Amino acid sequence: MRVYRCLGHKITLVNGIIPSHEINNLLKKLEGKNEEDTVHRAVIRSMAKAIYSTENIGHYGLAFKYYTHFTSPIRRYPDIVVHRLLDDYLSKKKVGKASPVGLWPREKLQEYEQIARVSSEQEKRASDAERSSIKYKQVEYMSKRTGENFEGIISGITEWGMYVEEIETKCEGLVRVRDMNDDFYIFNEKKLELVGQKKKKKYRLGDRVKIKVKGVDLERKTIDYVLI
């Protein structure tokens, strides 16, 4: 068992794997802190995208060995499929590869596998479209506020700059290293921070900074900020 510290928070690994309860404990400790949204988003991005499947592999986040779901109110085709399966099970029809009431016919299993595959693909398309539309409207909003000042939280750091999320609207943009003229900044990949070589000033995930809108690109859906 090894213990890692990132951004001042302790995470315990067991056999090289982070137990789900460790993540839940971390997110609970972060409630109300500047880095809460940033870490929460990083945790979600690090996980494999959930897909629909005929294989029940449980739920990592909830630590359930067996898991299925449907939303309420019902708004997805997979929800209808789950309801149909539950109805069939209550009617003691064949509903599973190893259910108490028998086995799925091969054709039926292939049908549900196809439904799961298509549903996963369509959900990803819908999710991508939603993110893209939100990003476009955020860029459009900031296009009318060039030169205005805001307060933001550092949401990501790379060798070419740092991403800052404006607090009120969540409009994320990039502060480029080349625009940070007060010092020469180097990216510390291990600690995920930018460090000034002369003044030793550090910028880290979750830090609050004051920013000004430098410009936007509606076609690329990008926002450029500069520090003030």
pLDDT, tens digit (0-9, with 9 covering 90-100), for 92-116? 876 665 544 456 677 788 888 999 9
pLDDT recorded at residue 24: 78
Say how far apart CA 195 and CA 207 lie, in whole Å: 13
pLDDT, tens digit (0-9, with 9 covering 90-100), for 175-188? 999 999 999 999 99
User: Does 178 or 45 have the greater pLDDT score?
Assistant: 178
pLDDT recorded at residue 197: 95
pLDDT, tens digit (0-9, with 9 covering 90-100), for 129-166? 999 999 999 999 999 999 999 999 998 899 999 999 99
Domain map of the chain by residue range?
A: 2-46, 147-227
What is the 3-state composition of the chain as percent helix, strand, coil, each rounded to the nearest 5? 35, 30, 40
pLDDT recorded at residue 5: 55
Location of structure tokens 């928070």: 9
Location of structure tokens 């009617």: 91
Say how far apart CA 195 and CA 203 lie, in whole Å: 7
pLDDT recorded at residue 154: 92
Location of structure tokens 């991403």: 163
Burial class (CB in 10 A: 0-12, 13-18, 19+), 78: buried
Structure tokens at 49: 């995208």
What does CATH list as the number for 147-227?
2.40.50.140
Say how far apart CA 144 and CA 132 lie, in whole Å: 19
Location of structure tokens 């290293």: 177
pLDDT above 70 for 1 = no
**What are the backbone dihedrals phi and psi of residue 132, each rounded to the nearest 5 degrees, phi first?**
-65, -40
| pTM for the whole structure | 0.71
**Of 219, 108, 205, which is closest to residue 163 (Cα–Cα)?**
205
C-alpha radius of gyration, the chain, whole number:
23
Q: Which residues pair with 224 in a beta bridge?
A: 174, 215
Say how far apart CA 149 and CA 7 lie, in whole Å: 27
